[in-house]
Amino acid sequence: MTSQQKIIATTEKYSAANYLPLPLVISRAEGVWVWDTDGNRYLDCLSAYSALNQGHRHPRIIQALINQANRLTLTSRAFHNDQMGSFLQQLCDLSDMEVALPMNTGVEAVETAIKAARKWGYDNKPIERDRAEIIVFSHNFHGRTVTAISLSSEPSYRRGFGPFTPGFRQADYGDLGAVKDVLTNETVAVLLEPIQGEAGINIPPEGFLSGLRKLCTEHGVLMVLDEIQTGLGRTGKMFCHEHEREAKPDILIVGKALGGGVYPVSAVLASHEILSVFGPGTHGSTFGGNPLAAAVAKAALDVVEQEQLPARSAELGDYLMGELNRLPQNDIAEIRGRGLLIGIELKKSVVSARPYCEQLMRRGILCKETHDRVIRLSPPLIIEKNEIDHLVEQLNSVLTGDFARQSSEKLVSSS
């Protein structure tokens, strides 16, 4: 048994089996590259599900972490600290929002936004207590808590975890008419991802977000955007909703790359009016807004802005899409994406994208399947053109290889 196999065996023995990772053990990383315990190098094209927009171990973010860790790490919100205020000011200025509430993980921020929307609805609309409704969309992904999976249309996310949180109505993603059909006098908000990442990089029709903005305004309903994955440059704009005019949300949820790949940081941003629904004792988090998180997030935002990562994502995303569209279309049904968030959907005759990802791993490329038949590509935004060329070269070899006809089960058992 190799050293990697021993580590994997120990991990699988003592870890709940709620993930099916690719069979390698990463031990160090830098920039867009990672190395396994045997010294093999891989191009990271997943970026920890877009949490590493700035790349692995960006020197400025690591230095901010070290400097702050040597001074102060945690106070709780029982006291002020000297980092949170300037962090929130920077984030609000960047997003053109008035006020922010810091949390830790993305799903915590989603839960916070849901609570804020409901409380705002009761304070501002004639809705009976416990009757507020939020419209969500088919194939959404907002996290794994009971409330988050209560929004989901994916059976595998929900099976065995009921009873579910009430108060949500589903509409077909990208369909304004479907939203109108489920709008009621008890609707307080519409919650969505501007691009559905986990669902396979689903992009709504042009004008959908701006149309939804107009509809929400007309009906006195909050528009809540989950930009945990799409924010901070990933799609070629600082925030994905900026691709459309007049699509600014009432509540903006951010996370992942906000922590620069070294610390979990998330936040909910809105107007003073909306977030004033929270008074002392109504909502909180021991670690939310802690000084270590705030210092790291400030450095992470500095890198995104000063290294012009949204513009890089736009330019390199266009380049990558152009190169991908030159690939043989043997097994490809569709290639879709925006910036450096791209999905390669395989034809229905292909059982799973998993074996393609495993073969890419063997060729030094790390990516992951999503929604069975989609290969998700989301490399760090600091990637260079020659590294994109290397990615496309390996994709070409894999997509034209005989192995592509094999079943996922065979490849898993042989790895």
Residue 409 has pLDDT above 90, yes or no: no
Closest listed residue to residue 356, CA positions, set 10, 22, 13: 22
For residue 82, how many C-alpha atoms fall within 13 Å in the half-sphere facing its CB? 3
**More confident: 152 or 407:** 152
Residue 223 has pLDDT above 90, yes or no: yes
Distance of alpha carbon 88 from its chain centroid, rounded? 20
Secondary element (H or E) of residue 412: helix 408-414
Asked if residues 352 and 405 have their Cβ atoms less than 8 Å apart, the reply is no
Residue 170 has pLDDT above 50, yes or no: yes
Closest listed residue to residue 383, CA positions, set 65, 56, 78: 56
Supply the residues annotated as catalytic: 141, 226, 256
Closest listed residue to residue 139, CA positions, set 396, 411, 374: 374
Report how far residue 110's alpha carbon sits from residue 104's, in angstroms, rounded to the nearest whole number: 11
Average pLDDT score, the chain: 95
DSSP 337: E
Asked if residues 188 and 132 have their Cβ atoms less than 8 Å apart, the reply is yes
Closest listed residue to residue 53, CA positions, set 253, 297, 232: 232
**What's the fold here for domain 3-54+309-414?**
Aspartate Aminotransferase, domain 1 (3.90.1150)
Measured in degrees and rounded to the nearest 5, phi and psi for residue 306 equal -75, -30
Cβ burial of 50 (10 Å; 0-12, 13-18, 19+) is buried
Instruction: Compute the chain's Rg from CA coordinates.
Output: 22
CATH number listed for the domain at residues 59-306: 3.40.640.10
Q: Where are the domains of the chain?
A: 3-54+309-414, 59-306
Residue 402 has pLDDT above 70, yes or no: no
DSSP string, 385-407: HHHHHHHHHHHHHHHTSGGGGS-
91-130 tens-digit pLDDT: 999 999 999 999 999 999 999 999 999 999 999 999 999 9
If you average pLDDT over residues 205-234, what whole number do you get? Answer: 98
With a pLDDT cut of 90, the percent of the chain lying above it is 94
135-150 tens-digit pLDDT: 999 999 999 999 999 9
Closest listed residue to residue 224, CA positions, set 113, 143, 130: 113
Residue 388 has pLDDT above 60, yes or no: yes
**More confident: 403 or 370:** 370
Residue 344 has pLDDT above 90, yes or no: yes
Q: Between the CA atoms of 294, 296, 301 and 306, what dihedral angle is there, to the nearest 10 degrees? A: 140
Q: Which two tokens stand for residue 355?
A: 């074996």
Going by pLDDT thresholds of 50, 70 and 90, the confidence category of residue 406 is low
Going by pLDDT thresholds of 50, 70 and 90, the confidence category of residue 169 is very high
Q: Which two tokens stand for residue 164?
A: 């579910």
pLDDT, residue 315, reads: 98
24-54 tens-digit pLDDT: 999 999 999 999 999 999 999 999 999 999 9
Asked if residues 231 and 239 have their Cβ atoms less than 8 Å apart, the reply is yes
DSSP 246: T
Identical fold at 3-54+309-414 and 59-306? no
pLDDT, residue 1, reads: 86
Helix (H, G, I), strand (E, B) or coil at 331: coil
Residue 413 has pLDDT above 60, yes or no: no
If you average pLDDT over residues 288-294, what whole number do you get? Answer: 98
Residue 411 has pLDDT above 50, yes or no: no
Report how far residue 30's alpha carbon sits from residue 41's, in angstroms, rounded to the nearest whole number: 11
pLDDT, residue 404, reads: 54
Omega cis (within 30) before 163: yes
If you average pLDDT over residues 344-351, what whole number do you get? Answer: 93
Residue 412 has pLDDT above 70, yes or no: no
Asked if residues 45 and 365 have their Cβ atoms less than 8 Å apart, the reply is yes
- CB proximity list for 33: less than 8 A, separation 6 or greater: 41, 42, 43, 44, 56
In the block, tokens 């009757």 appear at 131
Going by pLDDT thresholds of 50, 70 and 90, the confidence category of residue 403 is low
Residue 414 has pLDDT above 60, yes or no: no
Going by pLDDT thresholds of 50, 70 and 90, the confidence category of residue 221 is very high
